[in-house]
Structure 1
Amino acid sequence: MKTLDEFLNKQYRTKTPAKGSAVLQKQRKKLYGRELPEGWEIVKLRDIFTPVDMKSRRIRVQDNTKYMLISASLYSKGIKFREWKFGREIKTKTMYIVHAGDFIFSKIRAKQGAYGFIPPQLEGAIVSNEYPILKLNQKVALQEFIEYCLSQPIMWGLFGQYSRGLKDKSRTKVNEFLEVKIALPPLEEQRKIVYVLKTVQRAIEQQEKRIETTKELKKALMNRLFTKGLDPNQPTKMTEIGEIPEHWELKKISNVGRVVTGKTPSTSKKEYWEGGKYPFITPGDIPSDFIFVKTTERYVTEKGLHVANPIPKLSILVVCIGSSIGKIGMSIFDNSITNQQINAIVPNLKTFDPFFIYYALSYIFPIIKKKASPNPVPIINKSNFESLKIPVPPTLEEQRRIAQILLAVDKKIELAQQKRKALEELFSTLGHKLMTGQIRVSNLKIPTE
């Protein structure tokens, strides 16, 4: 018997039978062009689901009664609480009660994965007749297995094939929904597949909690460091941006370094773009959760670089036009350019630590947003940007020590994000291969409950 660790590490797979073997000579079942393992069945959803008689769940909405309303999230994200409403606020007066364990789907959005099982906390909620109600036969199929099975993107397309009506208003009716076929392994193998996927899912959730906890730590640290400095007992003073250590000063951005407004080389000139190797940074290239811009969507040639406004490594990038105004990052490229939405600060490295400047700008982010003009497209012009003030310690050493503390926290966040991404990719790959029998778990040993 394989343990879960052995399974995940070695990706335990079904062996390919040798040519001429009895297994190959025997006709294997196929579903959607792929052979299924022995013992697996091809079933229609009607073989495992039974439609609930909607009359048995029908209610007349009463004006003075409060009702729980729910909705099906797209892309198999489950059934979610929407809101509480009094009956007098609900236009449709005939509704239907759902119970924990029911399966519902949106007729109009089944093709986008809008379906799922009712969790216990949504017991007694109501839905309209746009949400048919089904019951799963748990003697042949496990609820969690079916949840994972129907969460596969291929399923959304299959439900789309059964939709009828105009493109934007097409609906999937109950009988059409139940015509879709799935591969169903024996119950014991379903349990093992669920166990593997739940294990990976729990690991993803642990990383998400770690990310959120570390982000909260960073927020608290920034607040303490920019109000109290390295010594929480030292005197402070009030300034136009709030409390800061008494020995710190407010510095205009124009005094921190040179401000460079980006410029886009003409896109009609191929010699500026084709075969380019110098990064062209736009707001979309600046990550939301970490300091460095590590890659860009587009690159310019040396000619393109020199007709724009090149910036060096460790320049701090601030979006000053558009919906992402105030977004901040740092270039790690020796030479790069930005578009006109970005102002770059090339700091005076003899006096200012670039990482500290990055964090100081992040700290005054709300002030940056308030400085934007109230136009339909918000903007901070270059002169207003240069006049923004940030709190700065007098010595490079203190700046660097503060920056190192915050950079260490950011590295922990990035590491957890990388682990989460790897686990999400593993979950996606495993989900598809386990559901199609490409990876087998029949010999996997799982703990008994």
Structure 2
Amino acid sequence: MQNNTLSRSELDTAGKVLNIHYGDVLIKYGSVLDASDQTIPYIVPGNESPNYVHLQDGDVVIADTAEDETVGKTTEIYNVLGSKIEAGLHTIPCRPIIPFAPKYLGYYMNTPCYHKQLIPLMQGIKVLSVSKGNISKTEISAPNSLEEQEKISSLLYLLDQRAAIQSKIIEALKKYKRGLLMHYFSDDRTQQWTHYSISQIGKVITGSTPPTNDRSNYDGELLFCSPGDVGEEKYISSTEKRVSPKGFALGRPLPPNSVIVTCIGLIGKLGIATTGMITNQQINALVVSEGFDHEFIYYAFENFFPEYRSKVSMQTLPILSKSEFEKLIIKAPVLDVQLKISSHLASMDRRIEHTQKELNLLFEQRRGIIQQLFI
């Protein structure tokens, strides 16, 4: 089928004809796409393709270009309900010539079973692509019974719907937590709090990297934390590398409950060390003194650093040196109030983490079902 070559600049949030862009197929859309989804962009009026055979329920749109082997990602259109839809730049729209159950092709063509057919057909070095001719060489496997196909697609669709709901719950919880941060650290609440420099709150330790010419530096049992280990989870309890303290200056290892802050590039990614570890030079860590709650300081940083990042974002390579970090000012109440605030925020973090684990379990169940159904 026909596709257009419209760029993002030729799309808008309003119009008469919808457009399926390959970037959205690769990243935004799932295996099936509800055509009534209000986030699908429109073609800027006047740029519509003349005599276009618009997409209909059951058509699939394949992304024919990507920077990696995700090329070939597919979405099946459903719930068109009279809408006019074009397949856009770098897509291959296909219409089945034999009957398939609704949504079956969308799910099947995103399985490893189908995608492995595409890998030897991909062309390119920096950017990979697959042609219409090569797509036509691939094979579709399906039960002969449309009823059985429908059972498969319905099960996967229900799992996707449940995952979508779970994702919305997570976003709502994160939004509520952001509201709590704004509430607890608002100017009205903090005007009675004491101002402290970071150097007054604790000892700052800047990491270093052990010499690589002596491999024995990397044969130890101490965790080695780099910026890639920071930011995904609040508590850092494991890393890919382990090192020996002998490759570092004495006193470099961090004690548990140190607050870790990235200080080069993306400044202010945060974590809390749950065990002794060593960090590299792109991290400042704060060993919190008595009279301060390390979790409260973590949340104070979580509130502080987004605004700080926006101030230094125009720099070629933003750097927060140890001396500059020590001069930063954080407001804090007495310890009892710190503990109450951090306890409330920590309970929200635990709820978000639990909900995220449930979502991850759904994804694992989905992968397992696909492996069993499509061999």
Q: Normalising TM by the smaller chain, what interval?
A: 0.7 to 0.9
Q: Which has the larger Rg? A: 1
2:255 is aligned with 1:312: yes
Q: 1:278: which partner in 2?
A: 222
Q: For residue 433 of structure 1, what is the aligned residue in structure 2?
A: 372
Partner Cα distance (1:165, 1:284) in 2 = 29
Q: Tell me, yes or no, if the aligned pair for 1:98 and 1:118 is still in contact at 8 Å.
A: no
SS for the counterpart of 1:380 is: coil
How much has 1:136 moved relative to structure 2? Answer: 2.7
Alignment check: 8 A CA contact 1:265 1:308 kept: no
Identity %: 29
Could you list the per-position Cα deviations for residues 172-206 of structure 1 after superposition, in whole angstroms to 9, with x for gaps in the alignment? 225x4233223311222222222332332233223
User: Separation in 1 of the partners of 2:245 and 2:89?
Assistant: 62
For 1:32-51, list aligned pairs within 5 A. Answer: none
Out of 97-106 and 75-84, give the one that drifted further.
75-84
Offset from partner CA, 1:22-57 (integer Å, 9 cap, x none): xxxxxxxxxxxxxxxxxxxxxxxxxxxxxx5x59x9
The question of whether the paired residues in 2 share the 8 Å contact of 1:68 and 1:85 is answered with no
Distance 1:83 1:268, change over 3 A: farther
Partner secondary structure for residue 318 of structure 1: strand
1:95 and 1:127 in contact (8 A); partners too: no
Q: Does the 8 A contact of 1:66 with 1:87 survive in 2?
A: no
How many residues are treated as equivalent by the alignment?
A: 352
SS of structure 1 residue aligned to 2:153: helix
Report what 2:357 is aligned to: 418
Q: How far did residue 351 of structure 1 move? A: 0.6
> Of residues 324, 329, 339 in structure 1, which corresponds to 2:280?
339
Name the CA distance, whole Å, in 2 between partners of 1:68 and 1:356: 48
Deviations 1:381-425 (A, max 9, x none): 2222111111200x2111101100000000001111111112111
Give 1:130 shift.
Answer: 5.8
Match of 2:60 in 1: 103
What TM-score, normalized to structure 2? Answer: 0.83
Corresponding residue for residue 125 of structure 1 = 85
- The match for 1:367 among 295, 307, 325 is 307
Deviation, structure 1 residue 125: 2.7
Residues 286 and 168 (structure 1), Cα distance of their counterparts in 2 relative to 1, 3 Å cut = closer
Question: What is the alpha-carbon distance in structure 2 between the residues aligned to residue 181 and residue 166 of structure 1?
Answer: 25
Match of 1:358 among 289, 294, 298: 298
Counterpart contact for 1:373–1:379, Cα < 8 Å: no
Question: Does the alignment pair 1:181 with 2:181?
Answer: no
Alpha-carbon distance in 2 for matches of 1:193, 1:68 = 29
Shift of 1:304: 3.3
> Could you tell me the TM-score, scaled by structure 1's length?
0.70
CA separation in 1, counterparts of 2:267 and 2:113?
38
Q: Give the residue type in structure 2 aligned to 1:125.
A: I
Unaligned runs of 5+ in 2: 5-9, 34-38
Structure-1 separation of matches of 2:274 and 2:129: 49
Q: Answer yes or no: is 1:70 the counterpart of 2:20.
A: yes
Question: Deviation string for 1:82-132 (max 9, x for gaps)?
Answer: 4532436x8xx7683422322233445697124332344693133469644
Do the aligned partners of 1:264 and 1:339 also contact (CA within 8 Å) in 2? yes
Q: CA deviation at 1:170?
A: 5.2
Structure 2 partner of 1:382: 322
Q: Matched residues in 1 for 2:109 and 2:155: separation?
A: 17
1:146 matched to which residue of 2? 105
Is the alpha carbon distance of 1:163 and 1:387 closer, same or farther for their aligned partners in structure 2, counting shifts above 3 Å? Answer: closer
Letter in 1 for 2:62: F
Q: Which residue of 1 aligns with 2:151?
A: 192
The Cα shift of 1:352 comes to 0.3
Q: Is the 8 A contact 1:372 1:380 kept in 2?
A: no
Task: State the Cα distance separating 1:369 from its structure 2 match.
Answer: 1.4
Change in CA separation of 1:432 and 1:377 when aligned onto 2, cut-off 3 Å: same
Q: Does residue 407 of structure 1 match 2:346? A: yes
- Residue type matched to 1:376 in 2? T
The answer to whether 1:161 aligns with 2:120 is yes
* Secondary structure, aligned partner of 1:325: coil
Which residue of structure 2 aligns with residue 247 of structure 1? 192
Counterpart of 1:298 (choices 235, 241, 244) is 241
Between the aligned partners of 2:61 and 2:366, the Cα distance in structure 1 is 25
* 1:83–1:386 CA distance, 2 compared to 1 (3 A): farther
* Cα distance between partner residues in 2 of 1:252 and 1:124: 60
C-alpha distance in structure 1 between counterparts of 2:287 and 2:128, whole Å? 53
Question: Secondary structure of 1:184's match?
Answer: coil
CA pair 156-308 structure 1, distance change in 2 beyond 3 A = farther
Q: Which moved more, 1:245-254 or 1:125-134?
A: 125-134
**Mapped partners of 2:73, 2:64: distance in 1:** 9
**In the aligned structure 1, how far is the partner of 2:124 from the partner of 2:106?**
27
**Which residue number in structure 2 is paired with residue 36 of structure 1?**
none
**Corresponding residue SS for 2:330:** strand
The whole-number CA distance in structure 2 between the counterparts of 1:266 and 1:308 is: 17
